[in-house]
Amino acid sequence: MTERSQGPASGRSGADAARTGPGTEAGERATAPRSPLVMGVVNVTPDSFSDGGVYSDPERAVEHGLALVADGADVLDVGGESTRPGSEPVGEAEELARVLPVVRALALRARVPISVDTTKARVAEEALAAGASIVNDVSAGRAEPRILAVAARAKAGYALMHMLGTPRDMQSDPRYDDVVSEVRAFLRERADAALAAGVERSKLWIDPGIGFGKTLAHNLELLRRLRELTELGYPVLLGVSRKSFIAGVEEAAGCARSAADERLGGSLAALAIGVVNGASILRVHDVRAAKQAALVASALAPSAGS
């Protein structure tokens, strides 16, 4: 993986440190290629789709983040607002109160870069001041365009994601002529907007937004044709963990739909295909299993060791 594909964490981060193990020795490359980064999800929310309410107490959220690092997370993504389909927006003060103590504590204790999952400029600004080094913005700078300048000024990483509509309405009949080309054009346009606002090219990640304004067929098409997004030249961040397209696949096969916390098998299958198709950062809830799956998928990917 190139320097660029290591992503937006600033300085010699925990993620960089994760790159300097024995796997980087030339003789070991064939059997131990660099694996994608694993980004562990820390939801400080009462209503997230798979773990809402479980870590809404800041101390529990911090303990959870530290446990994810012990499990192998290279980055932690701290979020205070659910973006599940139909969710209601959270006020700025409430989101700050949820996120800041957790970001502050994890930045001191976790030894990996901290990302803040927010669409709000002020939340991003304060989280960066509290020790975060990446902004994960599912609105790609459309909710509050100032967030781009905030990320640029702090020399932070910036992850931008495709979403059709808003979390409240995104799943009501999403339509595309060709989902992959439309997502690709959107990501290119938003990456250009981030660059124009001063975000460094080497600090950008792009994300197709699995489950954000997409039908089952759209999500599957994006995962199958992910290479068309990596061609844009930015590391691709992928969030498939526990998402409802997995239950959609089960249903289409005549099986019962699984609950969100019963989707590990489907999450790992999708993650492995994502890795083979070029994903560089994997946003997951189940870090230990995801790390193992990512390592094996990387080792088996057609380009590995060649």
What positions carry a catalytic annotation?
Answer: 243, 283
Residue type, 76: L
Q: What six digits make up the tokens of 225?
A: 């044709």
Q: Does 75 bind ligand HH2 (CB under 6 A)?
A: no
Longest dimension (CA), the chain: 53
Q: Does 98 bind ligand HH2 (CB under 6 A)?
A: no
Q: What are phi and psi of 54, to 5 degrees?
A: -70, -40
Q: Does 136 bind ligand HH2 (CB under 6 A)?
A: yes
Residue ranges in 1-40 that form contacts with ligand HH2 under rule CB under 6 A:
none
What is the closest distance, in whole angstroms, from the C-beta atom of residue 178 to ligand HH2 in the complex? Answer: 21
Q: Which of 134, 138, 140, 152 binds ligand HH2 (CB under 6 A)?
A: 138
Q: Which of 5, 6, 13, 83 binds ligand HH2 (CB under 6 A)?
A: 83
Q: Does 283 bind ligand HH2 (CB under 6 A)?
A: yes
Q: Which of 127, 159, 164, 304 binds ligand HH2 (CB under 6 A)?
A: 159
**What whole-number distance in Å separates Cα of residue 146 and Cα of residue 259?**
37
Size of the site for ligand HH2 (CB under 6 A): 21
Q: What are phi and psi of 254, to 5 degrees?
A: 85, 10
**Smaller CB separation from ligand HH2, 23 or 84:** 84
**What whole-number distance in Å separates Cα of residue 43 and Cα of residue 50?**
10
Q: Which of 7, 40, 235, 239 binds ligand HH2 (CB under 6 A)?
A: 239
What is the closest distance, in whole angstroms, from the C-beta atom of residue 24 to ligand HH2 in the complex? Answer: 27
The closest of 76, 117, 32, 18 to 285, measured between CA atoms, is 76
The closest of 124, 108, 131, 185 to 159, measured between CA atoms, is 124
With contacts defined by CB under 6 A, name the span among 4-12, 46-54, 139-147, 186-194 that binds ligand HH2: 46-54
Q: Which of 161, 247, 271, 275 binds ligand HH2 (CB under 6 A)?
A: 161
The closest of 214, 220, 97, 122 to 165, measured between CA atoms, is 214
Q: What is the enclosing helix (H) or strand (E) of 37?
A: strand 37-43
Note whether 167 and 83 are within 8 A (CB): yes
**What whole-number distance in Å separates Cα of residue 10 and Cα of residue 126?**
17
What is the closest distance, in whole angstroms, from the C-beta atom of residue 117 to ligand HH2 in the complex? Answer: 5
In the complex, the residues that contact ligand HH2 under the rule CB under 6 A are 41, 43, 45, 48-50, 79, 82-84, 117, 136, 138, 159, 161, 207, 209-210, 237, 239, 283
